[in-house]
Amino acid sequence: MPQLAVANTLWAEYEQLDKPVRAGVRKAMAKFQTLTTVELRGR
């Protein structure tokens, strides 16, 4: 099963990121949570 790892240091500095970058992080995490295993593997 594919997994998404996020370094703890990201959360420590998350608020200092530009708004578009924060939105991208949230979007990537949301997308990862909704994809099926087959989709994550790109098949």
CB 38 within 8 A of CB 2: no
CB 41 within 8 A of CB 2: yes
User: Does any domain span residue 20?
Assistant: yes
Question: What total number of domains does the chain contain?
Answer: 1
pLDDT band at residue 1, thresholds of 50, 70 and 90?
low
Domain that holds residue 23: 8-40
Taking CA 19 as the corner, what is the angle to CA 15 and CA 20, rounded to the nearest 5 degrees?
Answer: 135
The answer, yes or no, to whether residue 8 has pLDDT greater than 70, is: yes
**Long-range contacts (CB closer than 8 Å, 24 or more residues apart) made by 4-8:** 4/28, 4/29, 4/32
11-35 pLDDT, tens digit per residue, is: 889 999 999 999 999 998 898 888 8
User: Does any domain span residue 3?
Assistant: no
The answer, yes or no, to whether residue 43 has pLDDT greater than 70, is: no
Give the pLDDT score at 21: 95
To the nearest 10°, report the CA torsion of 20, 24, 25, 31: 160
User: Does any domain span residue 16?
Assistant: yes
For the whole model, what pTM was predicted? 0.66
User: Does any domain span residue 33?
Assistant: yes
